[in-house]
Amino acid sequence: MSNMIYSLFGFDLALSGEMLMTLLLVVAVSLFLWFAFYLFSEMSFMRSTYMFYMFIFLPIVIHVITSSISTNIALSLGMVGALSIVRFRTPIKNPVELLIYFLLIASGIVSYTNINLYVNFIGFCIVAIILIALFKNYSKKSSFISFKDENEEFSFLKLQTNKAVTLDNYSSSLFQTSFDGNSYIYRYRSNNSETLESIIAILEEKDIVSYSIDKSI
């Protein structure tokens, strides 16, 4: 049957089935990685829809491109030239976001070039995620340290919002972020209570679930 299809359309059914299974494996790994980063990462960009699309489609696109240019040098050079004109208008500010892009690109390339190496890649990702989970659990236990010194007294703001917020002007005051499944929790510290009050003032009231300013954590 596959020989008949190949003779009529030049389409190798067995080879296409193998590629389809590999792509399904790539998608499964991408979903696993997305869920792990979503669960353990406290960065706001991981909650966006575009990042979910990136996890799903980037490894697939890289896999298909790699399979297309692997045996054709002229096509590979043309592809390099075509991709060289692609530019990101939004700069990547977070190194973790850059790490995610390289991770997804590596997933797409290795899944085509060496399936045995890809299995090792999956194992490495699982071990890395376990270490991240352990580190996060440890950092939670040790994050509530005292910021007081003998000559200075701080005020602390606990802010709970219904969506992720980024306040670049107050990033130096932010010392902890978390997500409880329903809302985002931010903790700020400052030796000037007016600074903490200004954080509340610039946010829209509908985005704030609750907040409190105290002299202790």
> Which class for 81: exposed (0-12), middle (13-18), buried (19 or more C-beta within 10 A)?
exposed
Does position 151 have pLDDT exceeding 50, yes or no? no
Task: Tell me which CATH code domain 155-214 carries.
Answer: 3.30.70
Q: Is the pLDDT of residue 168 over 80?
A: no
> Residue 198: which pLDDT band, with cuts at 50, 70 and 90?
confident
d(CA 109, CA 91): 24
Residue 188 pLDDT: 87
In 3D, which of 127, 165, 153 has the Cα closest to residue 214? 153
Task: Specify whether the CB–CB gap between 37 and 100 falls below 8 A.
Answer: yes
Domain span(s) for CATH 3.30.70 in the chain: 155-214
* Predicted model pTM: 0.52
Looking at residues 147-165, what average pLDDT do you find?
73
Q: How many residues are there in the chain?
A: 217
d(CA 205, CA 201): 9
- Beta-bridge partner residues of 158: 187, 212
Question: Stretch 123-142: mean pLDDT, rounded?
Answer: 77
Q: Is the pLDDT of residue 78 over 80?
A: no
